[in-house]
Structure 1
Amino acid sequence: MWRQKKYPCGEILDIEIFTRPEKAKVFKRARREKESSPAQKNLNNKNSNKYFVRLVHKNFKRKDLSVDLTIADQFMPKTREAAQKMFKNYIARVNRWRRAQGLKNLIYVYVLSEHTELGKATRFHFHLYAEKMDREVLEDKWGMGYANTDRLDFNELGVQGKSQYMARQSSYSGCRTWGSSIGLKKPEAITSDKAITKADINRIVRNPEDRAWFEQKYKGWIFTSCEVEENLITGTNILIKMRKEEIPDYISKARKKEYMEHIDIPF
């Protein structure tokens, strides 16, 4: 009756629990399924937002970079297509430098926006996440206005706050608003129809802040939050957020991988 989908994405774990559709095939064993990318890559609905945040957490870590790019008056494009081309040329300049250093092409995901997060129209600008590299190079290769680069600021929700800020800005455009480098790892769901019981649902609904229970249920992860939504059509929908358990100081570097392997087990 109940279906659970776990999305382990780097340091963050999302767990969705919902009523299994009546005609859906029942899974006797947990199975892995890659999440589909939104066809138009716009961020104007809840599912697209969740996909974008998971994609970020799947591919970027604490030492990676957050980059904000503005465009000076003399370079301001008149159309979104021209702005997209400007960004494409910027990435090409960065990749030429990387290849000269013997590095592979940059791993990144970006958002093009012409609105504030409240929906007010503003100038074209870009936000992107990029893999760790020389920050000065990323800024110098822009050359079209102001560039600011910071380390990714992870908290107990990872970089959800900044990612949702980016998504809100771009959601007002109603068209393709984000893109990425080739070969990003897609979020993957571990889907099970046996991991959750009716008793589990009742317990979660009664006490969605029961940290001890969640951490016992999902060993190796630290509880962050639980949202319970009651819908007349779809029934009870639950979204649980966990973060990766910190590795104790007494665990040697040689054993860290072994210590963390239990996190990715299906149940």
Structure 2
Amino acid sequence: MKNINVRQRTYYSNRDIKKSDYRYVDIFEYSQVEDDPIRISKTRNGKEKLTIPAKKVMNDKKSRLYFDLLLKGNFGEGDYFLSLTYSDKYLPASEEEAEAQMKKYIKDLRKEAKKRGIKTLKYVYITEVGKVRGRIHHHMVLQNCLPRDVVEGLWSKQIRPFHPEREMIGWCNAKKIQVTGPDFMIRISKYLSKDPAGKKRWKQSTGLVLPTTTKADKICSAKQFEQMSLFGNNFELEKFVKKHHRGFVIMEATKELNEFTGKWYVRLQLMKKALWKKTMAICEAREKVKLEQAQEKFVPYVPEYKINGVQGVLW
């Protein structure tokens, strides 16, 4: 047991580790066949680099983890979550046509942003084929730098050249992201990366804060790892985080089986304590107002979130 190497692989939502508010930590017994959740490459100076999964297919763990960290590192409360659909008249015949339409839409958004002195537009969007009717539609997370009516109104097509009249090509609903729990962004991440009927890919703007990763060997003893992985000892998990990730709190701790090695590994989802306190304060203040309003109207009060889990509506 003394010769077993316990490795820690940490994934950060920001390449500047000190500015990273979110972390994923995998703890496992290291062997020659290592199940890295995301492909790792080396730069010229020997540093490790976290690269975008080549296919960007949303039905595997590699893409899901990278996509989750990408959203958390770039978007938050007040940004827009968009659902974009097509009317029968403008329904694209293929995903290629839909992608071409999204490029036009993003071009119009950038043009409006430029008029307001905004140089960069941050976004991530997904093209999806519906399970039931097979209709192509999009979901987008967009930086809040434009008025909501402008964002929705640009999902349209110019009727005649050099004329301002435009016709909506479908339905566009932009909603502001609200804090509904400590880790509110994971609700959006899980919704966007749910199992699709076919392929489901994401596209992202340039200039986004990209995730990164580090590794550390002999991070703990084999006995401590056994207690964390086999018995789910919360005391040992908290002790581990306090030592190696000071200033962070555990949002979720799971035990998973490595399909390649057949061994258990522990995955921790961490959130910076200062951000956790801030989101909790927002939620508690909002709940207090709702409780007061309910008491005034004699309406039964139902809480919308839980402290130890993400609960409530998406917005």
Q: TM-score of the superposition, structure 1-length normalised?
A: 0.79
The code of the aligned residue for 2:249 comes to I
Cα distance in 1 between the residues matched to 2:178 and 2:31: 38
The code of the aligned residue for 2:118 comes to L
Among residues 253, 258, 265, which one is paired with 1:237 in the alignment?
A: 265
Q: Residue 14 of structure 1: CA displacement? A: 1.0
Question: In the alignment, does 2:192 pair up with 1:192?
Answer: no
Q: Write the mapping of 1:8-23 to structure 2, written as runs, cut at 5 A.
A: 8-9=12-13, 10-22=20-32
Among residues 142, 158, 164, which one is paired with 2:155 in the alignment?
A: 142
Q: Write the mapping of 1:164-243 to structure 2, written as runs, cut at 5 A.
A: 164-169=190-195, 171-174=196-199, 177-205=201-229, 206-210=231-235, 212-217=238-243, 218-231=245-258, 233-234=260-261, 235-243=263-271
3-state SS of 1:241 partner: strand
Q: Write the mapping of 1:55-66 to structure 2, written as runs, cut at 5 A.
A: 55-66=70-81
Structure 1, residues 128-183: CA drift from partner, whole Å, max 9, x if none? Answer: 111122222211111222212222244333422222221125x4323x62111123
Mapped contact 2:33–2:260 kept (Cα < 8 A): no
Cα distance in 2 between the residues matched to 1:161 and 1:113: 18
Cα distance in 1 between the residues matched to 2:177 and 2:234: 28
Cα distance in 2 between the residues matched to 1:231 and 1:190: 19
Mapped contact 1:228–1:238 kept (Cα < 8 A): yes
Mapped contact 1:32–1:191 kept (Cα < 8 A): no
Structure 1, residues 52-76: CA drift from partner, whole Å, max 9, x if none? Answer: 1111112212232211111122111
3-state SS of 1:74 partner: coil
3-state SS of 1:34 partner: strand
Mapped contact 1:32–1:189 kept (Cα < 8 A): no
Q: Residue 194 of structure 1: CA displacement? A: 3.4
Q: Which residue does the alignment assign to 1:37?
A: 52
| Unmatched runs of 5 consecutive residues or more in structure 1 | 25-30, 250-267
Deviates more, 1:124-133 or 1:147-156: 147-156
Cα distance in 2 between the residues matched to 1:142 and 1:232: 44
The code of the aligned residue for 2:92 comes to P
| Unmatched runs of 5 consecutive residues or more in structure 2 | 14-19, 35-45, 157-168, 279-315
Q: TM-score of the superposition, structure 2-length normalised?
A: 0.68
Q: Residue 233 of structure 1: CA displacement? A: 4.3
Mapped contact 1:5–1:190 kept (Cα < 8 A): yes
Question: In the alignment, does 2:9 pair up with 1:5?
Answer: yes
Residue-pair matches, total:
238
Q: Which residue does the alignment assign to 1:123?
A: 135
Which structure has more strand as a fraction of its residues?
1
Cα distance in 1 between the residues matched to 2:259 and 2:137: 41
The code of the aligned residue for 1:183 comes to G
Root mean square deviation, CA, Å: 2.5
Q: Residue 85 of structure 1: CA displacement? A: 0.4
Same amino acid, percent of matched pairs: 25
The code of the aligned residue for 2:210 comes to K
Mapped contact 1:110–1:129 kept (Cα < 8 A): yes
